[in-house]
């Protein structure tokens, strides 16, 4: 049975505009294989982001969510621009999509790919194989808060971390399920309930409740500050990790760096119930310092496409692409500058496509 997937491409800003077209090229190379002709992809590109904001005063059209709601998946680059405040680019586009399409599970694998020189001397590649599950719709990024008496000595500003029983339960269930599906069946629940004595205490309680349904998962609880030290000192003691929106944001940048580079790390913003399209993106930002120079590492985008293919139910295509990626990272001549090499975005992308076609 043949299948055509509708993919929304949102390159966004900065190097997002460089890596997303390479992502499309890689998907086309995969789908062009003779034995793969029953699966095809149709793309629609949306020019949302900072340039759109300069013209229209908003990062995406009012009916933007309607335009992408019926796609099978979304491939996203990055939002951010030196001229537009970060909270506008983030809230006006990325968070709007994640929250509007209820992509409540943000999944971020970190692992040391072949050929990558990771910064921890004592860490063997097999010691670092994590998946971080980030709560993606509420918590510290719920958007609840306010600012009064702006600029006055009595100014007050608040950001309220808002957690709901329903929201916490569903992300913890997702994390336990994911842990169960991995060989080590091990989950670390990150918390800060010693200091945040309302929402994080509820988070802990719900973790213990959900755990009852997963007797085969070995789980523990770790304070977020201790978790950062543990990632560095005892990486092999971790496998699946679940944390709140802000905590996981920080931990996953650390994880990406420990695995070798921010330029490699992938993300999936999933609606596990599949009511809406899920969104896949490299973990990095728009990296204006390297824009337009051909230095952007496209591997984070390619690995995100692997996650997209898995989510779409195409595991054979996903593993073919992952093999091509690993064969490219294994060759130091194909490392971009963030990995200590001299290869360009174009060279890495061409090498991945070549391996896909051979
Ligand atoms: P954002 O606020 O959008 O998350 P950021 O300020 O955190 O952005 P990034 O854009 O993620 O920053 O970049 C952080 C650093 O990592 C920069 O020096 C950038 O050049 C480098 N970097 C990020 N992504 C890549 C990539 N794909 N290839 C090479 N270097 C990268
Ligand atoms: Mg960042």
Domain with CATH 3.40.718.10 in the chain: 1-110+268-357, 118-259
Q: Which pLDDT score is estimated for 122?
A: 87
Residue among 87, 119, 262, 339 whose CB has most ligand 1 atoms within 8 A, to mutate? 262
Looking up tokens 């230095």 gives 295
The length of the chain in residues reads 358
**Residues 162, 8: Cα–Cα separation, whole Å:** 31
Give the CATH number of domain 1-110+268-357.
3.40.718.10
Q: Which pLDDT score is estimated for 269?
A: 98
- Give the mean pLDDT of 101-107: 98
Residue among 22, 284, 298, 344 whose CB has most ligand 1 atoms within 8 A, to mutate? 284
ipTM of the complex, rounded to two decimals? 0.94
Q: Which pLDDT score is estimated for 233?
A: 96
Residue among 141, 114, 154 nearest 327 (CA): 114
Q: Which ligand number lies closest to the CA of residue 250?
A: 2
Summary mean pLDDT of the chain: 96
Q: Which pLDDT score is estimated for 32?
A: 85
**Residues 301, 305: Cα–Cα separation, whole Å:** 6
Asked if residue 24 has pLDDT above 90, the reply is: yes
pLDDT grade, residue 34 (50/70/90)? low
Ligand 1: list residues with CB < 6 Å: 15, 78, 80, 86, 262-263, 284-287, 289-290, 295-297, 300, 336, 338
**Residues 103, 268: Cα–Cα separation, whole Å:** 9
Residues of the chain above pLDDT 70, percent: 99
**Residues 144, 334: Cα–Cα separation, whole Å:** 45
Provide the whole-model pTM: 0.95
**Residues 335, 345: Cα–Cα separation, whole Å:** 9
3-class secondary-structure state, position 55:
helix
Residue pair 24/308 in contact (Cβ under 8 Å)? The answer is no
Dihedral of the alpha carbons of 332, 337, 342, 343, in degrees to the nearest 10: 80
pLDDT digits (tens, 9 = 90+) for 129-158: 999 999 999 999 999 999 999 999 999 999
Asked if residue 35 has pLDDT above 90, the reply is: no
Give the CATH number of domain 118-259.
3.40.718.10
Q: Which pLDDT score is estimated for 358?
A: 82
């Amino acid at each position: 049975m043949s299948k055509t997937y509708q993919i929304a491409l949102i390159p966004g800003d900065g190097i997002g505009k460089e890596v997303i077209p390479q992502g499309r090229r890689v998907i086309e190379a995969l789908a062009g294989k003779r034995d793969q002709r029953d699966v095809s992809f149709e793309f629609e590109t949306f020019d949302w982001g900072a340039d759109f904001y300069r013209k229209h005063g908003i990062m995406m059209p009012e009916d933007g969510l309607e335009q992408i709601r019926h796609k099978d998946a979304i491939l996203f680059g990055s939002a951010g621009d030196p001229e537009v405040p970060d909270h506008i680019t983030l809230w006006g586009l990325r968070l709007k999509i994640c929250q509007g399409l209820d992509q409540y599970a943000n999944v971020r694998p970190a692992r040391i790919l072949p050929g990558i020189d990771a910064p921890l001397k004592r860490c063997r590649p097999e010691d670092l194989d994590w998946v971080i599950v980030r709560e993606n719709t509420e918590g510290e990024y719920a958007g609840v808060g306010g600012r009064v008496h702006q600029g006055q000595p009595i100014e007050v500003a608040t950001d309220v971390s808002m957690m709901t029983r329903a929201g916490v339960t569903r992300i913890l269930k997702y994390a336990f399920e994911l842990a169960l599906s991995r060989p080590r069946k091990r989950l670390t629940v990150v918390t800060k309930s010693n200091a945040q004595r309302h929402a994080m205490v509820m988070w802990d309680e719900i973790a213990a409740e959900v755990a009852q349904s997963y007797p085969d998962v070995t789980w523990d609880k770790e304070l977020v500050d201790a978790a950062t030290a543990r990632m560095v000192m005892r990486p092999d003691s971790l496998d699946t990790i679940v944390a709140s929106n802000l905590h996981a944001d920080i931990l996953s940048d650390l994880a990406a760096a420990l695995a070798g580079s921010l330029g490699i790390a992938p993300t999936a913003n999933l609606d596990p119930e599949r009511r809406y399209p899920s969104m896949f993106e490299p973990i990095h930002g728009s990296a204006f310092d390297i824009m337009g120079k051909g230095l952007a590492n496209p591997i984070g985008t390619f690995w995100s496409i692997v996650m997209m293919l898995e989510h779409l139910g195409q595991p054979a295509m996903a593993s073919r692409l992952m093999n091509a990626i690993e064969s490219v990272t294994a060759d130091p001549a194909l490392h971009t500058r963030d990995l200590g090499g001299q290869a360009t975005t174009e060279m890495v992308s061409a090498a991945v496509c070549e391996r896909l076609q051979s």
